[in-house]
């Protein structure tokens, strides 16, 4: 049985966002927050002043190094919450007002500008990343956090509860954060091939729902088992759901078209089958190549032994190309 645990460990080192990258992103975030604060102080000094909270992959520590394109740029997104807090619900203005004012505050912040994309205001950066500014009204009297989504009415959405849920999952499930990074890296690689895949938020929830660890303490076995559990359940008639584990508890697959559902299940089935064959393989290198098919060549096979179990000769191959877009 092929053991690719060491290749997974090296892959994790390759995809996990470095401390330098995190510091750069934090610097960009802080500058953006200062810009918004100044705008509201100068233009709406008599109104509630905004406060901010990280959310998404940065807050959950699942941020990945991006896959680079042909220009050496790596597209990835960060999420920051812009909050307007009051004990009086009558202080809440219209959704359009919040979007327009936040957009005005940041539209010239970078040379690449900003866009209002309905769920949030997106600020673009020259290196390919962007920061999504989700806007909330927090009614402190009732402790209700409501999202300002331009295509939907005000509705409860509390990122802090998601972060707390994720933190609890990491405490109770062995190597959970690492497994989430692997699942997100799979989706990222498939997106680079033009395939529409679920968000990192959805993959975090699915990894939790179908989580399974093993006595061997191996990443490859855990991935195989999670993929099998996930596909076997989601592919059943009427079982294609992803329920948010905190309020409002909606099904995040509810708006998926049949085509998008079928695409995801097709990719998931292919990954599951290759994972099963990788574990069953008698050749470590052959097993590694099956994983690499779904992760790209950031998943290096340079250390995998190309020898069948019981054979005496071995050959090392599959060294990552330093000129690759994934290097």
* Rg, the chain, Cα only: 22
- Name, in order, each residue with C-beta under 8 angstroms of 11's C-beta and a sequence gap of 6 or more: 182, 185, 295, 298, 299, 300
- Name, in order, each residue with C-beta under 8 angstroms of 260's C-beta and a sequence gap of 6 or more: 196
CA distance 271 to 224: 9
Strand 130-139 with 77-86, pairing: parallel
- Name, in order, each residue with C-beta under 8 angstroms of 134's C-beta and a sequence gap of 6 or more: 55, 79, 80, 81, 82, 119, 120, 147, 148, 159
Q: Any idea where the domains of the chain sit in the sequence?
A: 5-15+172-295, 19-162
**Tens digits of pLDDT across the chain (327 residues):** 899 999 999 999 999 998 888 888 899 999 999 999 999 999 999 999 999 999 999 999 999 988 875 555 456 678 999 999 999 999 999 999 999 999 999 999 999 999 999 999 999 998 888 999 999 999 999 999 999 999 999 999 989 999 999 999 999 999 999 999 999 999 999 999 999 999 999 999 999 999 999 999 999 999 999 999 999 999 999 999 999 999 889 999 999 999 999 999 999 999 999 999 999 999 999 999 999 999 999 999 999 999 997 664 444 445 444 444 433
CB 182 within 8 A of CB 200: no
118 part of the active site: no
Instruction: Give pLDDT, residue 78.
Output: 87
The architecture of the domain spanning 5-15+172-295 is: Orthogonal Bundle (1.10)
Q: CA of 231: how far to CAs of 161, 239, 261, 262, 309, in Å?
A: 27, 10, 12, 12, 30
For residue 147, list its beta bridge partners: 136, 155
Peptide bond into 112 cis (omega under 30): no
132 part of the active site: yes
Q: Which long-range contacts (CB under 8 A, 24 or more apart) does 306-310 make?
A: 307/283, 308/282, 308/283, 309/282, 309/283, 310/282
80 part of the active site: no
Given the residues 13, 34, 46, 79, the one annotated as active site: 79
CA distance 188 to 63: 12
Given the residues 80, 96, 132, 225, the one annotated as active site: 132
CB 79 within 8 A of CB 54: yes
**Residue appearing with tokens 């402190």:** 140
- Name, in order, each residue with C-beta under 8 angstroms of 141's C-beta and a sequence gap of 6 or more: 87, 88, 89
Given the residues 13, 30, 42, 77, the one annotated as active site: 77
Query: Which top CATH class is 19-162?
Result: alpha beta
- Name, in order, each residue with C-beta under 8 angstroms of 238's C-beta and a sequence gap of 6 or more: none
Token pair recorded at residue 212: 């399974």
- Report the C-alpha dihedral over residues 246, 252, 254, 259, rounded to 10 degrees: -170
Q: Is 143 helix (H, G, I), strand (E, B) or coil?
A: coil
Q: Do domains 5-15+172-295 and 19-162 have the same CATH topology?
A: no
Of 199, 197, 208, nearest to 245 by C-alpha is: 208
């Amino acid at each position: 049985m092929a053991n690719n645990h060491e290749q997974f460990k090296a892959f994790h080192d390759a995809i996990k966002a470095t401390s330098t990258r995190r510091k750069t992103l934090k610097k960009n975030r802080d500058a953006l927050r200062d810009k918004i604060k100044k705008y509201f102080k100068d233009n709406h000094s008599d109104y509630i002043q905004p406060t901010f909270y990280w959310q998404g992959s940065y807050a959950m520590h699942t941020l990945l190094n991006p896959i680079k394109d042909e220009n050496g740029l790596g597209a990835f997104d960060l999420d920051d919450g812009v909050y307007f807090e009051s004990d009086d619900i009558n202080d809440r203005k219209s959704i359009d007002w919040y979007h327009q004012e936040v957009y005005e505050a940041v539209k010239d912040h970078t040379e690449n500008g900003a866009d209002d994309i309905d769920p949030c205001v997106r600020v673009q950066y020259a290196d390919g990343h962007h920061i999504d500014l989700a806007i909330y009204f927090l009614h402190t009297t009732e402790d209700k956090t409501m999202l300002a989504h331009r295509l939907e009415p005000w509705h409860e959405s509390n990122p802090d509860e998601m972060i707390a849920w994720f933190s609890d999952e990491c405490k109770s499930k062995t190597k959970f954060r690492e497994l989430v990074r692997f699942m997100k890296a799979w989706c990222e690689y498939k997106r680079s091939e033009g395939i529409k895949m679920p968000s990192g938020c959805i993959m975090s929830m699915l990894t939790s729902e179908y989580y399974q660890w093993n006595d061997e303490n191996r990443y490859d076995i855990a991935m195989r088992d999670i993929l099998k559990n996930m596909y076997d359940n989601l592919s059943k008639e009427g079982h294609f759901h992803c329920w948010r584990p905190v309020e409002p508890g909606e099904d995040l697959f509810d708006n998926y078209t049949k085509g998008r559902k079928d695409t995801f299940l097709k990719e998931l089935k292919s990954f599951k089958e290759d994972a099963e064959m990788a574990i069953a393989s008698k050749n470590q290198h052959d097993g590694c190549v099956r994983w690499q098919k779904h992760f790209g060549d950031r998943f290096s096979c340079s250390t995998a032994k190309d020898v069948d179990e019981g054979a005496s000769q071995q050959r090392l191959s599959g060294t990552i190309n330093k000129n690759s877009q994934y290097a």
